[in-house]
Amino acid sequence: MYKEIMYINGSNLTIDGIIEALSGKYEVRLEDQARKFCQMTRNQINQWLHGNPPVVYGINTGLGNMKDTVLSPEEHIEWNRTIPYPHAVGIGKPLNRDITRTALLIRANVLARGYSSVRPELIDRMLSIFNAGISPVIRELGSTGLSDLPPLAEMAMFTAGFEESEAFYQNQRINAREAFSIAGLDETFAFECKEVLASMNGSSMTQAISVLCYHQLESIFNQLSDNMLSKNPGLYQSICNTMSFMKFNLNKENNVSCDNPLLFNIGEERFEPVMGCNCSNTQIGYVMDLVPIIASDLAKYLYRNQFLNTNVKKGACVINLIDQLAIPATADSIATKAGQEDHVEFSYGAARKAREAVMLLQSILE
């Protein structure tokens, strides 16, 4: 079946575009200009792997206690096979397959910006998996919300076709390599230096949960909007304004570089590495903490105006559950990692909580 082409370049992926891509109407590809820039930054990486280059964290060195230890390209390829394991500590049931597939698309788009300096081949690999309709099996719990290390480590292992990785494909839960083989893709993909770090260090799983949660809330709000305008225009306008703010921030976060280090052009196709806390997505935590509050107000609006297609007792019970989810997760921004991470926004928890609230709201409309 012929599909239209959707191009990503790291700068204009929207919530609406993600939903369209998930529908299967499009084949998603890396834009040519973005491919060229990705290759330019990668060329700088390749230069730093030979001769007597400066020591650059995570590029020609190890990580953590090995941050000052220079590794050869061959050692990096071997090391990349082990880096995800200490971080892939997720527990619980698998995340919804649409969420993990969305995270794959968002991560490919983030890398398409070029500043993460991965090979275009890695982005092509991720998009090939997405276009085939394959979803990674990723455990639900593990991220504090300051970089989604556990779920993204599992996603990196999945992308590379690690032996332990699983996939949702053709209504089955099977080994990832088997899914790739059935779909006509290479069963494995070898990460080169910095590519595991770039794949794991970010908040793409939080973003995927948030994007799909917002889309569901927007659909419910649109369903109710005509009636709300006539009965309570003040509430309607307040929610409308707040959701516009939420959508602006979510669309912006779809297109940000969020790993360390990033490479920036200093002229004549030369780049310098810059370190920063790029994985922080505090603003998304704030945004998602607003969702249960809106869901609570909408549920009570339905309750007051007798729009519930269920008994009143059940409606009151659901509203009570939504209200319990309205306590903000981001208020508990305590330090972790023995104080090394001084501000942890718990955006992942905020996103999961928001999704639960919207699902509860949806349940009283059914």
Residues 194 and 338 in one domain: no
Residues 187 and 222 in one domain: no
pLDDT (tens digit, 9 = 90+) per residue, 302-338? Answer: 888 766 555 566 778 899 999 999 999 998 777 766 6
Q: What is the mean pLDDT of the chain?
A: 91
DSSP E strand boundaries for 142-213? 166-169, 172-175
Secondary structure letter of residue 64 according to DSSP: G
| Domains held by the chain: number | 2
Query: Is residue 231 located within the same domain as residue 194?
Result: no
Contact 72, 80 (CB under 8 A): no
pLDDT tens for each residue of 39-77: 999 999 988 888 777 788 878 787 777 777 777 777 877
- Residue 32 sits in a domain of what CATH number? 1.10.275.10
Q: Does residue 117 contact residue 34 with C-beta atoms inside 8 Å?
A: no
- What pLDDT score was predicted for residue 172? 96
User: Are 57 and 113 part of one and the same domain?
Assistant: yes
| Percent above pLDDT 70 for the chain | 95
Residue 64 makes CB contacts below 8 A (sequence gap 6+) with none
Query: Based on the domain organization, do 334 and 192 belong to the same domain?
Result: no
**What is residue 57's predicted lDDT score, i.e. its pLDDT?**
81
The reply to whether 269 falls in a domain is no
pLDDT band at 276 (very low <50, low <70, confident <90, very high): confident
| Same domain assignment for residues 184 and 244 | no
Domain boundaries, position 145: 4-203
pLDDT at position 122 over 80: yes
d(CA 165, CA 159): 9
The pair of structure tokens assigned to 203 is 């908040």
